[in-house]
Amino acid sequence: MLNMLETVWCAVNRVTRNGIELDRGECISSFLALKGVTINAAYQHSEEKNKGTIESGKIADFVILDRNPLKVPPLEIKNIKVLETIKEDVY
């Protein structure tokens, strides 16, 4: 199963899950990496009208985390724990 926090960690730190360092000049912010696995991913699949952001009437797939990925040091992102998953709830 794909781990989105690991995907964000790789994009922010430019290190593969196997520890191979990539071009550090291509690191992106945690904010942009989170957009990549939320609203931008929904757009890529033509689902932005129903998914990707938490809005009234949209399908709400989201997680509750033990720490804020925008506030932890970049190398800590992959250690954030998922406390709860909410899937296909409609608000």
- Give 47-89 pLDDT, tens digit per residue: 999 999 888 888 888 889 999 999 999 999 999 999 998 887 7
Residue 20 and residue 33: Cα distance in Å, rounded? 19
Residue 40 and residue 53: Cα distance in Å, rounded? 10
Q: What is the mean pLDDT of the chain?
A: 90
pTM given for the model:
0.83
Averaged pLDDT for residues 18-47: 93
Q: pLDDT over 70 for what percent of the chain? A: 96
Q: Domains of the chain: which residue ranges?
A: 4-90
Token pair belonging to 55:
């809005």
**Contacting residues for 82 by C-beta, under 8 A, at least 6 apart:** 5, 63, 64, 65, 66
| More confident: 1 or 79 | 79
**Count of Cβ atoms closer than 10 Å to residue 74 Cβ:** 18
> Where does the pLDDT of residue 90 fall: very low under 50, low under 70, confident under 90, or very high at 90 and above?
low
Residue 1: per-residue pLDDT: 58
